[in-house]
Amino acid sequence: MRVRRRGGGAVRSIAAWGAAVVAASALSACAAPRHDDVVNLYYAPEEHLQTVVDRCNDQADGRYRIVYHKLPRDADGQREQLVRRLAAQDDGMDVLGLDTTWTAEFARAGWVREWTGAERRQAEAGTLAGPLASARYGGKLFGAPKNTNVQLLWYRSDVVDRPPRTWDEMIEQARRFEAAGEPSTILIPGAQFEGYVVQFNTLLASAGGKLISDDGTRAVVDEGAVRALEQLKALADSGLTSPSMSNSQEDDVRLEFQQGDAAFQLNWPFAYPSMQEDAPDIARNVRWARYPSSDPARPSKVTLGGFNLAVSAHSPNPQASFAAALCLRSPDSQRFSAIHDGVPPTIESVYAAPEMAAEYPMRDTILEELRDPAIRPITPAYQNVSTVLSKLLSPASRIDPPRTAERIRTEVQDALDSRGVLP
Amino acid sequence: MSAVDEAKRAERRLGWALCAPAALVMLAVTGWPILHAVWLSFQRYDLKYPDQREFVGLENYLTVLSNQYWWTAFGTTLLIVATQLVIEFVLGMALALIMHRAVIGRGLVRTASLIPYGIVTVVAAFSWRYAWTPDTGYLANLFAADGAPLTERGSALAIIVLAEVWKTTPFMALLLMTGLALVSEDLLEAAQIDGASRWQRFTKVMLPVMKPAILVAVLFRTLDAFRVFDNIVVLTDGAQDTSSVSVLAYNNLIKGLNLGIGSTMSVLIFLAVALIAFLFVKLFGAAAPGADEDGGRR
């Protein structure tokens, strides 16, 4: 009897302890103890970024310790997590990896800190002008460009003798290959998403066009925009694109190119190493060239991608965070990331590093495009502008250039004013 | 006042006290967000411009209700709901009859038919997407060798409906099967002796007896179908006018950070769902759960 009673008591006390432990851990999860030296980095998944983080932690010698938290893989998911936590004034995030197009939005909402003084000078030193412009808003710097990106024209050298310099020339060549029964398809990400807007922006800038006024408040859809619409439409109507063009994103395009029926692919450099691994027979003949221009008189202006490092406005550790961000995007770190993760550096001198030649055979073409790039409109409402654009441009076959331009003008203006409805 | 009354009253008080915590929690987790959404819908409030927050009355409702994207999405949603419901009802009834009559392996048949319902919608949607993508997908190669069905509005909507039907028909069948259990063998036998054909027995005996179960099944599925989201996001992401109202609300609220417009849409969706439930109960009043045979009045 005694034994049983004691047993019951033990069970009860274990249960009570269990409840206390659960409650305590729940409480501590709400208010995680923060160490002054911890810098929480929230960044997209990048395979070898942890190595960069470890090296920075070694160099910091106890001044800070970066902890790398991986954001979701897709851009929308990354932005959502950041936005939700920043809007709730979460102080658990210090350094944020921002897609170049979000920088203005985060700055306008007051979620990230301005870069000033010595840190600003260090972030600007030797950095390419294009990526730097994408990190500015209202004349102030809000991010340190970590890596940039530009798209290239990838082609099959066993089919194409001379890479086309203009959009029309590309279509004309493809038509010839088709007649000769050779691989002829032109692959371009044309799904209703941001990546398709990137293509449009490149055509627009190459035609010398403009979508939004420089101060980011007015929709100016000019002749260049109409010309870009005509070119997208011409491609879609040519019968040379993939049937799934209007449902393809960048990775779908890469996969389809590896099937072997395509002559051209307009895509980011990530496509190159993937081809080497997945389709070595095709990769052997793959070459690259500058993205075709829309105007024969001048070379293309290609849209920049990439990431900027920003410091959260709610970070309790701004000093350590700025220092950590500078280390993560230092020339050494950028060279390491370029070689191991294939992300193009934002610091011009890094391209001259000898190791770059093997991993980055197309670096001269990339650098050439980077020196005279197109930047997507800098406005806090970029996400909304992009949602509207991708809707009105998709599918490309249904573009009616002057009419579509008119609709873009009114709906982009609504998006800039955060008034209308997003499709 | 008798002691019996007193005891009854005390018991009732205890009953209220016992369910009060649950009721309060329900109010807090569902009532409060709804009220908050209504409050937000009267404001111009964009997270990107926190300093420009202001009260605008019904302006957001005017903006949304006069917008063609909203009405296109609304029409698309209704179209998806209606076609899906008809197909599911027919298939679900057939499946229910089979499961009800199955003599051998009844448990196995039921379990097997529930598998699609058990698969996470997003996962299933991805396999549908790949199946309908040319080159990588067996269905696209089989049925649409030259085109890409997911890039045309008509075929994309058909695939969305198909994916939904595939997933939720088992649920419909399960609910209908509980209705079939209400139909007594005696009734059917009596009808047969009176000379009723198979079809007459089905429409004149089984369906009326099953009415409450049918109402529940159809009502549940309508409300559920009206909120269609995951299949659309994965299959087309709303391209070619395949957005449902939920996808549109998500785009404005979560992607666009426009709390005013997004909340307005959420409130409108809530009202539409409430209206659907109300109409169903009114139309099928006699068969509403908990109602009597004589028109729902007790």
What's the per-residue H, E or C state across A276-341?
HHHCHHHHCCEEEECCCECCCCCCCCCECEEEEEEEECCCCCHHHHHHHHHHHCCHHHHHHHHHHH
Shortest CA gap B34–chain A (Å): 19
Nearest to A243 among B147, B236, B256 (CB): B147
For B256, the closest of A246, A394, A422 (CB atoms) is A422
Q: Chain A contacts of B146, Cβ < 8 Å? A: 243
Q: Closest chain A residue to B150 measured between Cα atoms?
A: A247
What counts of helices (H) and strands (E) characterise chain B?
14, 2
Could you give the C-alpha distances from A291 to A68, A225, B50, B205, B286, in angstroms and in order?
35, 18, 39, 71, 68
Q: What is the pLDDT of residue B297?
A: 40
- B-chain CB neighbours of A73 within 8 Å are none
**How open is the CA angle B11-B13-B19, to the nearest 5 degrees?**
105
Q: Do A247 and B70 touch (CB under 8 A)?
A: no
A34 band by pLDDT with thresholds 50, 70 and 90: low
d(CA A106, CA A113): 9
Contact check, Cβ <8 Å, B70/A380? no
Nearest CA in chain B to A88: B47
E strand spans, A44-168: 65-70, 95-99, 136-137, 140-141, 144-149, 152-156
Q: pLDDT tens digit string along A169-224? A: 999 999 999 999 999 999 999 998 999 999 999 999 999 999 999 888 899 989 99
Q: What is the pTM of this model?
A: 0.80
Distance from CA of A278 to the nearest CA of B (A): 15
Beta bridge partners of A145: A308
CA dist list (Å): A27 to A15, A30, A422, B2, B36: 18, 5, 40, 51, 27
Residue among A247, A378, A391 with most chain B CBs within 10 A, to mutate:
A247
Spatial separation of the C-alpha atoms in residues A116 and A147, rounded to whole Å? 20
Q: Is A33 left (phi over 0), alpha (psi -120 to 50) or beta?
A: beta
What is the rounded CA–CA span in Å between residue A25 and residue A28?
5
Nearest to A69 by CA among A55, A82, A59: A82
pLDDT for residue B285: 64
What stretch of H or E contains A39? strand A38-43
Long-range contacts of B144-148 (CB under 8 A, 24+ apart): B146/A243, B147/A243, B148/A242, B148/A243, B148/A244, B148/A245, B148/A246, B148/A247
On the CB side of B230, CA atoms within 13 Å amount to 14
3-state secondary structure of B119: coil
Residue A279 in contact with partner chain B when CB distance is under 8 A? no
- Nearest by CB to B50, from A76, A109, A387: name it: A109
Of B49, B239, B248, the CB nearest to A246: B239
Q: Find out whether A304 and A150 touch, Cβ atoms under 8 Å.
A: yes
Bigger pLDDT: A8 vs A357: A357
Query: CB within 8 A of A49, min separation 6: which ones?
Result: A43, A68, A337, A341
**What length does chain A have?**
423
Q: What is the pLDDT, as a whole number, of residue B64? A: 93
H-type helices in A70-116, by residue range? 75-87, 103-108
The C-alpha of A107 sits at a distance from chain B's nearest C-alpha, in angstroms, of: 9
Q: Is residue A193 within 8 angstroms of chain B, CB to CB? A: yes
pLDDT given for residue A8 in this prediction: 42
pLDDT digits (tens, 9 = 90+) for A266-302: 999 988 888 888 889 998 999 999 999 988 899 999 9
DSSP class of A73: S
Report the run of H or E that residue A408 belongs to, with start and end: helix A401-416
Closest Cα in chain B to A422:
B252
- For residue B144, the model assigns a pLDDT of 72
Tell me the per-residue pLDDT of A340-378, one tens digit each, with 9 for 90 and over.
888 999 999 999 988 888 878 899 999 999 999 999 999
Position A40 confidence tier, pLDDT thresholds 50, 70, 90: very high
Tokens of A82: 């950041």
Q: Tell me the C-alpha distance between A102 and A226, whole Å.
A: 26
Alpha carbon A225 to its chain's center: 23
Beta bridge partners of A307: A99, A147
Contacts with A247 from chain B: Cβ below 8 Å:
133, 148, 150-151, 236, 239
Handedness of CA A421, B221, B223, B123 (dihedral sign): negative
Among candidates A80, A255, A418 on the partner chain, residue whose Cβ is nearest the Cβ of B49: A418
Check if the beta carbon of residue B280 is closer than 8 Å to that of residue B222: yes
Return the pLDDT at B9.
Answer: 92
According to the model, what pLDDT value does residue A108 have?
A: 92
User: What residue of A is the nearest CA neighbor of B265?
Assistant: A421
Main-chain phi, psi angles of A416, to 5 degrees? -65, -35
- In angstroms, the CA A393 to CA A406 distance is 12
Q: Which residues of A touch B252 (CB under 8 A)?
A: 421-422
A226 — phi, psi (to 5°)? -65, -40
Q: Which amino acid is at B69?
A: Y
B146 CA to chain A: closest CA distance, Å?
Answer: 7
CB A238 within 8 A of CB A175: yes
Q: What does the mean pLDDT of chain B come to?
A: 87
Are A134 and A100 spatial neighbours (Cβ–Cβ below 8 Å)?
yes
H or E element at residue A178 = helix A167-179
Q: 3-state class of A240 per DSSP?
A: coil
Mean pLDDT by 10 residues, chain B (298 residues): 81 92 91 93 89 90 92 95 95 89 78 87 91 82 77 90 93 90 89 90 89 88 91 88 93 90 95 90 63 44
CA–CA distance, B9 with B220 (Å, rounded to integer):
36
Determine the angle formed by the axes of helices A401-416 and A382-393, rounding to 10 degrees.
160
Q: What is the ipTM of this complex?
A: 0.76
A255 touches chain B (CB under 8 A): yes
